[in-house]
Amino acid sequence: MVTWIAKGSRTNSEQVKEGLALSLLALLQIAISGLFLKDAQGFVAQSGNPLIISIDAFMQALVRPLGILFIVSFPLFWLALLRGKLVPRWLFDAVGIWYCLRLLMEFALLNALLFTPAVSPRLLVGQIIVFIPCFVLTWGWIMWRVDFVNRASPQQVVSLPDEMEPITSFDYYHTSVISIVNKGSSKFQGVTRTGRFYVLIHSLMLLDLLGLIIARVYGLVQKMV
């Protein structure tokens, strides 16, 4: 079987594009920590909700320390890329998986916070403004990773019916954005069972996110009245 070697070994330019996407996610995660999680600390402690406290404790113990490690290592990461060297695939995957873990934890926390009154309009605005780009970029990376890297050709696991050939990494992020503005309906389509599983999870999270947005907008209006 002929494989698409360029997609496995990757070129430096392709790695730079992926590095830019992951670096942007790093900046957004810093914004979440500063704008959302920092404001929420007292609120988490006062909520008395064991699920909220457990999620926050897990993030404090594991997710955030790993995040600091990745952020500190980013200069070395970019130094290698800018010198034209190829960074091992597993390093990209490690960073991407960490972002996925953070997304799941923050998503669970956002849902749990619905059962407790919010503390401030700033918290509500932060949830809406910062989390949505993280959601879009993370799912764009996930779909691109499972369908594009080390594949003979794209659209073997998930298809992008609204995109034109040739498919590039940009199209996965674009489809992720369109899914958000398409009333919470995923624009990805599963081709294999694995692809359909990812699309199912994406669709369920989109529907939940739409409900979160409505709830947060309503809560913000209530705070302003």
In the chain, where are the structural domains located?
A: 10-224
Q: What is the pLDDT of residue 95?
A: 85
Which residue from 182, 183, 178, 176 is spatially nearest to 202, judged by alpha carbons?
176
Q: In this predicted model, which residue has the larger pLDDT, 101 or 1?
A: 101
The answer to which of 70-79, 166-175, 196-205, 207-216 has the lowest mean pLDDT is 70-79
Mean local confidence (pLDDT), 146-173: 85
Residues 114-156 have pLDDT tens digits of 766 655 666 666 777 788 899 999 999 999 999 887 777 788 8
- Percent of the chain topping pLDDT 90: 20
The answer to which of 136-140, 179-183, 192-196 has the lowest mean pLDDT is 179-183
| Category of 173 on φ-ψ map: left (φ > 0), alpha (ψ -120 to 50) or beta | alpha
